[in-house]
Homo-oligomer: A and B are copies of this chain.
């Protein structure tokens, strides 16, 4: 009792003398050690499980920690031990409807393990992305998760030589590096097959930004499905897009203006599908009565679009979780052998059999 009181009093004093306001309530490991009657190193060992200690002291320290409300200082820990318990996450646009889910998955998984994510946006700009990575390294993150990104494979491998790296959207192999690649080819093929199965044979394809490998894969999938079905691929049915709603709208307009006949559209992502839907709507064409429409990614808004969009489910939340778990494994020194779920079509109301 008395002990407790005096501890509090000491704390008060410390607060009063400390200039920096935000250092209030600071309880150091040393204080804990003294309160428990052990040395700081022992307290540290108990905190980290670095070595075996007697049950007695362990108990005393645990009790002292709880009583004083000790919270380890990650900053000091980072300086002394080299581990900051934080991992950098390189994304392209933190406000993207697509990546949002992944970020959430990462945060959930990481924070459950005591790690904190440090998000930075590369803005689809290789130079900026490099700067971001440099910044993360200077902040001494314990590892880096790169979502797609524009950084070269070589640079990533080099990075992985010094720091655990998890990268999505590519297939890479290097020590300290795990890559998680979603099967975009299969996704594109399944989406096209769905349309084919519905009797459509004039299927337009709106490509994604061709600088992205996944856009090319989805395109390959489209072509493969057509070939499998013995349907000739008409180049006039393939229109370029940039993964934006605007480009989807423009694509449909160009298709319509050129009077290319088609009964279905497969857009390489949902955002373009939404733009396409609006384009069709403006020309009095109804989805799915006049034109069937399939998207890709299954973003959150796809469920409530008009009509609800049939699309390839891209498990972004899981992607984030799995990427985070892979990083955790890497950090723990375990060999990571995680894999992504297979593509899966979510059938909603934007597709129907050809009339």
Say yes or no: B139 contacts A75, CB within 8 Å.
yes
Is A137 an interface residue when CB atoms closer than 8 A count as contact? yes
Say yes or no: A119 contacts B107, CB within 8 Å.
yes
Is A163 an interface residue when CB atoms closer than 8 A count as contact? yes
Picked from B78, B103, B134, B301, the residue with its CB within 8 Å of the CB of A75 is B78
**Beyond A245-B304, A304-B245, is A140–B107 a contact (Cβ under 8 Å)?**
no
Bound state CA distance, A193 and B71, in angstroms?
A: 53
**Beyond A104-B95, A120-B107, is A306–B304 a contact (Cβ under 8 Å)?**
no
For A63-102 the 0/1 string (1 means CB < 8 A from B) is 0000000011111101100101000000001111100110
For A96-123 the 0/1 string (1 means CB < 8 A from B) is 1100110110010001000011111100
Is A1 an interface residue when CB atoms closer than 8 A count as contact? no
Say yes or no: A118 contacts B121, CB within 8 Å.
no
Q: Is the interface of A mostly helix, strand, loop or mixed?
A: helix
Picked from B75, B120, B278, B300, the residue with its CB within 8 Å of the CB of A140 is B75
Bound state CA distance, A90 and B75, in angstroms?
A: 20
Is A277 an interface residue when CB atoms closer than 8 A count as contact? yes
In the complex, which residues 42-63 of chain A have their Cβ closer than 8 Å to any Cβ of chain B? none
Shortest Cβ gap from A73 to chain B (Å): 7
Say yes or no: A308 contacts B278, CB within 8 Å.
yes
Say yes or no: B116 contacts A116, CB within 8 Å.
no
Bound state CA distance, A76 and B84, in angstroms?
A: 11
Nearest chain B residue, comparing its CB with the CB of A102: B95
For A283-311 the 0/1 string (1 means CB < 8 A from B) is 00000000000000000110111111000
**Beyond A94-B100, A281-B306, is A162–B21 a contact (Cβ under 8 Å)?**
yes
Bound state CA distance, A250 and B277, in angstroms?
A: 24
Bound state CA distance, A104 and B301, in angstroms?
A: 20
Say yes or no: A134 contacts B71, CB within 8 Å.
yes
14 contacts between A and B (CB under 8 A): A22-B82, A22-B162, A23-B82, A73-B138, A74-B139, A75-B75, A107-B119, A116-B120, A116-B139, A246-B304, A274-B301, A275-B304, A277-B306, A278-B304
